[in-house]
Amino acid sequence: MQDLSRFEEVRELHAQFHRYAADVVQLHAAGQTDQARALLNGEYSKLSERLKHRLIGLSQQVKAAGGVPRF
């Protein structure tokens, strides 16, 4: 792929997405529902939107380059 920096950004955002999801679940399980809700509706939601847009951009880049090579 021509520009792996886009892929690396998506990979890191995806990992952070799962870390936030785990934090939301842990907070809720610990009875800290207000904090869980705040994270879910705040940083988690923002990150989710950012990840979605980066994935769309990466998908468009791959398609423009002729798709994923078959080995």
| Contact in structure between 56 and 13 (CB atoms under 8 Å) | no
Task: Please list, in sequence order, all residues whose beta carbon lies within 8 angstroms of the beta carbon of residue 5, skipping any fewer than 6 positions away.
Answer: none
pLDDT at 1 over 50: no
At residue 61, the pLDDT reads 85
Q: Note the helical H segments in 1-68.
A: 4-29, 33-39, 45-64
The domains of the chain are located at 4-63
At residue 70, the pLDDT reads 64
The predicted model scores a pTM of: 0.80
Instruction: Write the pLDDT tens digit of every residue in 27-61.
Output: 999 999 999 999 999 999 999 999 999 999 988 88
Q: Chain-wide mean pLDDT for the chain?
A: 90
